[in-house]
């Protein structure tokens, strides 16, 4: 009787842990963008947030969803991709409206101009939607044609997680160019690192495809490199710190 009760308690506990881990995977990636969204909306300044982060996350999560058609992975990861895509579109909508309102130039840049110099710098949110839909349609069509090719499917999965793993590199390069981490929240960077560590451990425990956890380790490495920049530029300042700093961040867990 006691053994049966113990087994039931163990089962319930395992289920609760599993549900918590799945929930953390689904919603944990968007958590850092909630205070960032509020900060941009409050200050009407999106200077500290790179819209290219949205581009990287949109591409990575669209490719991940397509990858699932060729190779099954955990459902929480699918929902994570869907929610992240929605979140990035919301961020793009806000950043575009704030940036356009602050621009002095009246020239409008649109997606259908196919001007490479203005790529991902368009003046309307609808142009970003057109680009995302075009990419999704093209990638989906190619995937439909090559879905029976194991090489293509594995390459698609690698590109999806590798793109996401490179998410921190724009911030890393931006810090290097500015010789400063001003405008970047250290708390947020710590959240990136803890989130990526949790995500990589989740990949390993759920036996996710090898591309997932290898690129997860790479993502943790990039996070640590950014944390090193925080230490280095605070210890050896390269330029004067301005009086106004907008605390923003740009990273998925």
pLDDT tens digits along 158-181: 898 888 888 888 778 878 887 877
Task: Residue 84: give the domain boundaries.
Answer: 1-165
Measured from the Cβ of residue 79, the count of other Cβ atoms closer than 10 Å reads: 15
Per the domain annotation, does 232 fall within a domain? no
Per the domain annotation, does 230 fall within a domain? no
Those residues with Cβ within 8 angstroms of residue 198's Cβ, 6 or more apart along the chain or in another chain: 24, 28, 253
Q: Which of 101, 89, 85 is nearest to 46 (CA)?
A: 101
pLDDT the model gives residue 1: 63
pLDDT the model gives residue 181: 74
Per the domain annotation, does 101 fall within a domain? yes
Per the domain annotation, does 184 fall within a domain? no
Q: Residue ranges of the chain with pLDDT lower than 70?
A: 1-2, 21, 48, 105-106, 183-185, 239-253
> Percentage of the chain with pLDDT > 70?
89
Per the domain annotation, does 41 fall within a domain? yes
Burial of 87 (0-12, 13-18, 19+ CB in 10 A): buried
Measured from the Cβ of residue 204, the count of other Cβ atoms closer than 10 Å reads: 13
pLDDT the model gives residue 183: 60
pLDDT the model gives residue 106: 67
pLDDT the model gives residue 176: 83
Number of domains observed in the structure of the chain: 1
Q: Which of 123, 99, 97, 93 is nearest to 110 (CA)?
A: 123
Per the domain annotation, does 127 fall within a domain? yes
Residue 81 contacts residue 202 (beta carbons within 8 Å): no
CA distance 192 to 211: 20
């Amino acid at each position: 009787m006691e053994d049966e009760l113990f087994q039931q308690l163990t089962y319930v506990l395992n289920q609760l842990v599993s549900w918590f881990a799945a929930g953390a995977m689904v919603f944990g990636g968007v958590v850092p963008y909630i205070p960032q969204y509020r900060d941009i909306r409050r200050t009407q300044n999106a200077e500290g947030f790179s819209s290219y982060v949205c581009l990287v996350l949109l591409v990575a999560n669209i490719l991940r969803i397509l990858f699932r058609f060729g190779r099954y992975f955990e459902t929480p990861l699918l929902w994570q991709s869907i929610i992240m895509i929605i979140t990035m579109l919301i961020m793009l909508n806000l950043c575009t409206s704030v940036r356009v309102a602050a621009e002095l130039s009246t020239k409008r840049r649109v997606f259908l101009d196919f001007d490479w110099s203005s790529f991902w710098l368009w003046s309307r949110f609808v142009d970003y939607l057109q680009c995302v839909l075009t990419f999704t349609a093209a990638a989906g069509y190619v995937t439909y044609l090559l879905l029976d090719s194991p090489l293509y499917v594995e390459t698609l999965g690698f590109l999806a997680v590798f793109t996401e793993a490179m998410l921190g590199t724009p911030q890393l390069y931006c810090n290097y160019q500015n010789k400063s981490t001003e405008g970047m929240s250290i708390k947020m960077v710590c959240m990136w690192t803890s989130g990526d560590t949790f995500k990589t451990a989740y990949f390993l425990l759920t036996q996710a495809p090898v591309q997932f956890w290898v690129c997860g380790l790479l993502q943790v490495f990039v996070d640590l490199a950014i944390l090193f920049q925080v230490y280095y530029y605070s210890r050896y300042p390269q330029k004067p710190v301005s009086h106004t700093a907008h605390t923003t961040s740009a990273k998925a867990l």
